[in-house]
């Protein structure tokens, strides 16, 4: 039916789109029946679940294994019971000091090592405070190297956790990496060469300094970046100057840093 919609005129396409919506609504419950009841559907395509969310617990690995048997599920979000809403979490004054974000104690997440991530193309752990031990457990999970989007915002990950992830072949295909508000320094940035296919990188609220900029400009993906999110305070004045004049950066990104 979708192929018919692509080939039809605008009136016919609208009619076919309406038929697709009606069929999706009619059969959605039966399609979702293959998923565990504890799983939340976060994204669909033509009514079929494509992204699911599971709340972390001792039972989570089992639930995730069952959810990933869904025929069209290729994206997973793992969250916690106190999962915050919106980008504002962590920005309040009490979460910060002069050295950057104050990291709460990590949540026990050794069970991540037991996961089979082989079907996934996107993995979202944003606001799940796994810390370095959890990142190291995640690096030990089973995978097939298909994951292209990895969201690790506010995960309390430092250099050792990031090094473990970049060394794992299961994450070698990552193209979009979100590391906002972790505890990454220049050492962690140097490990990002393990993600040679990066096109989008968010390193905001990580104090990487001038040394981190040097490491970033030496990375194999630097010329392919389409988005690079950093703040002046993350890289220092010297770092800003280097980014503004770096021939390795694509022209658009270099021009942006000239205006910062």
CA distance 178 to 4: 38
By DSSP bridging, strand 96-97 and strand 149-151 are unpaired
Is the model's pLDDT at 53 over the cut of 90? Answer: yes
- Over residues 34-44, the pLDDT tens digits come to 777 788 888 87
The per-residue pLDDT of the chain, averaged, comes to 84
DSSP designation for 104: P
The pTM score is: 0.83
CATH number at residue 137: 3.80.10.10
CA distances from 239 to 64, 87, 97, 175, 217 (A): 42, 26, 21, 24, 11
For the chain, report the end-to-end CA distance as a whole number of angstroms: 49
- pLDDT at position 162: 98
One DSSP character per residue, 139-186 reads HTSB--S---EEE-TT---BHHHHHHHHH-GGGTT--EEE--SSB--H
Residue 66 belongs to a domain: no
- pLDDT at position 87: 45
Residue 11 belongs to a domain: no
Total number of domains in the chain? 1
Overall average pLDDT of the 171-189 stretch: 96
Residue 27 belongs to a domain: no
Overall average pLDDT of the 226-252 stretch: 95
Residue 13 belongs to a domain: no
Is the model's pLDDT at 84 over the cut of 60? Answer: no
Share of the chain above pLDDT 70, in %: 78
CA 122, distance to chain mean position in Å, is: 7
Is the model's pLDDT at 90 over the cut of 70? Answer: no
Residue 183 belongs to a domain: yes
Q: Which domain holds residue 140?
A: 80-259
Is residue 107 a contact partner of residue 56, using CB atoms and an 8 Å limit?
yes
- Over residues 92-145, the pLDDT tens digits come to 444 555 555 556 667 889 999 999 999 999 999 999 999 999 999 999 999 889
Residue 103 belongs to a domain: yes
Residue whose C-alpha is closest to residue 254's, from 241, 195, 214: 241
Lowest average pLDDT, out of 7-21, 144-158, 170-184, 226-240, goes to 7-21
- pLDDT at position 25: 54
Highest mean pLDDT among 2-6, 26-30, 127-131, 142-146: 127-131
Residue 1 belongs to a domain: no
Residue 160 belongs to a domain: yes
- pLDDT at position 43: 83
Kindly provide the residue ranges of all beta strands, DSSP E only, lying in 94-147, ordered along the sequence: 96-97, 100-101, 122-124
- Over residues 186-199, the pLDDT tens digits come to 999 999 999 999 99
Residue whose C-alpha is closest to residue 65's, from 79, 51, 54, 50: 54
């Amino acid at each position: 039916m979708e192929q018919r919609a692509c080939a039809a005129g605008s009136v016919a396409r609208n009619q076919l789109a309406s038929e697709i919506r009606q069929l999706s609504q009619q059969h959605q419950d039966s399609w979702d029946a293959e998923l565990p009841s504890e799983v939340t559907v976060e994204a669909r395509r033509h009514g079929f679940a494509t992204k699911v969310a599971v709340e972390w617990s001792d039972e989570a690995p089992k639930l995730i294994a069952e959810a990933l048997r869904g025929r069209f599920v290729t994206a997973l979000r793992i969250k916690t019971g106190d999962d915050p809403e919106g980008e504002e979490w962590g920005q309040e004054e009490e979460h910060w000091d002069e050295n950057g974000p104050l990291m709460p104690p990590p949540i026990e997440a050794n069970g991540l090592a037991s996961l089979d991530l082989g079907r996934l193309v996107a993995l979202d752990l944003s606001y799940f405070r796994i810390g370095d031990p959890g990142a190291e457990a995640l690096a030990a999970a089973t995978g097939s190297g298909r994951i292209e989007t990895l969201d690790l915002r506010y995960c309390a990950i430092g250099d050792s956790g990031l090094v473990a992830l970049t060394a794992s072949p299961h994450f070698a295909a990552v193209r979009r990496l979100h590391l906002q508000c972790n505890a990454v320094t220049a050492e962690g940035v140097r490990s990002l060469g393990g993600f040679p296919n990066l096109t989008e990188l968010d390193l905001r609220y990580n104090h990487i300094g001038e040394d981190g900029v040097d490491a970033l400009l030496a990375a194999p993906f630097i010329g392919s970046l389409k988005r690079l999110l950093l703040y002046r305070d993350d890289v220092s004045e010297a770092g800003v100057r280097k980014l503004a004049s770096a021939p390795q950066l694509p022209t658009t990104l270099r021009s942006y840093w000239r205006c910062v």
